[in-house]
C-alpha cells in the first residue's frame, strides 16, 4: 500500500508548468546524492564536508550565475563576438537560524575595453535588461515560488 503525504509552501501566485526534462536525485551514501536528468546529465550533491560535491545551496547559486550568463550571452556575443570571455561569480551567506539565503550577489566579469565608454554603457543597459527579462532562475528567486512536496511511501 502506498500513502501520499503533501505539504505546500506558498509565496506567490500559483502558475503550473510542466518541465520538458525529468529531474531527480538518488541517494548514493550518507548525505550524498546524485542529481540526474532525463537528458543524461549528472551532478554530485552532498554536505560541505564531502569533497567533490556541490551542496544544494551552492547549486542554487550556480544555477543563478549560469542563468545570468546564458541570459547575457546573446547581447554580449552580438557586440563582442562569439568568442568573448565572461565569468559570473556568485556568493551569499546562509542565514542558518532561518535556513535561507537572505541575499545573493552576482558579479558579471566581461572585458569591454575595446568599446568606447558610451558603447560600453549602452551594452550594459541591454545586458541588464536581458537578464531581468529572461533569467528564469533570477526572476523566480526575486518573485518567490510555491513549493509542493509529496511523500510516497511503500
**Alpha-carbon span 95 to 101, nearest angstrom:** 6
Residue 34's pLDDT is 99
What confidence tier does 2 reach under pLDDT thresholds 50, 70, 90?
very low
Does residue 13 surpass a pLDDT of 50?
no
- DSSP state string for 16-59: ----SS-EEEEEEETTEEEEEETTS-EEEEE-TTSTT-B-HHHH
**pLDDT tens digit sequence for 82-114:** 999 999 999 999 999 999 999 999 999 999 999
Mean pLDDT to the nearest integer, 16-33: 88
pLDDT averaged over every residue in the chain: 92
**Alpha-carbon span 55 to 42, nearest angstrom:** 14
What confidence tier does 10 reach under pLDDT thresholds 50, 70, 90?
very low
**pLDDT tens digit sequence for 118-153:** 999 999 999 999 999 999 999 999 999 999 999 999
Percent of the chain with pLDDT over 90: 86
**Alpha-carbon span 110 to 151, nearest angstrom:** 44
Q: What is the pTM of this model?
A: 0.85
Amino acid at each position: 500500500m502506498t500513502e501520499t503525504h503533501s505539504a505546500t509552501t506558498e509565496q506567490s501566485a500559483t502558475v503550473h508548468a510542466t518541465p520538458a526534462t525529468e529531474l531527480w536525485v538518488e541517494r548514493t551514501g550518507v548525505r550524498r546524492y546524485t542529481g540526474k536528468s532525463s537528458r543524461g546529465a549528472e551532478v554530485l550533491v552532498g554536505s560541505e564536508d564531502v569533497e567533490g560535491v556541490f551542496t544544494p545551496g551552492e547549486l542554487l547559486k550556480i544555477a543563478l550565475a549560469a542563468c545570468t550568463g546564458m541570459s547575457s550571452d546573446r547581447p554580449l556575443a552580438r557586440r563582442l563576438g562569439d568568442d568573448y570571455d565572461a565569468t559570473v561569480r556568485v556568493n551569499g551567506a546562509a542565514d542558518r537560524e532561518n535556513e535561507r539565503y537572505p541575499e545573493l550577489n552576482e558579479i558579471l566579469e566581461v572585458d569591454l575595453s575595446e568599446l568606447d565608454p558610451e558603447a560600453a554603457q549602452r551594452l550594459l543597459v541591454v545586458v541588464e535588461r536581458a537578464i531581468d527579462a529572461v533569467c528564469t532562475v533570477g526572476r523566480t528567486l526575486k518573485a518567490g515560488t510555491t513549493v509542493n512536496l509529496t511523500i510516497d511511501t511503500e
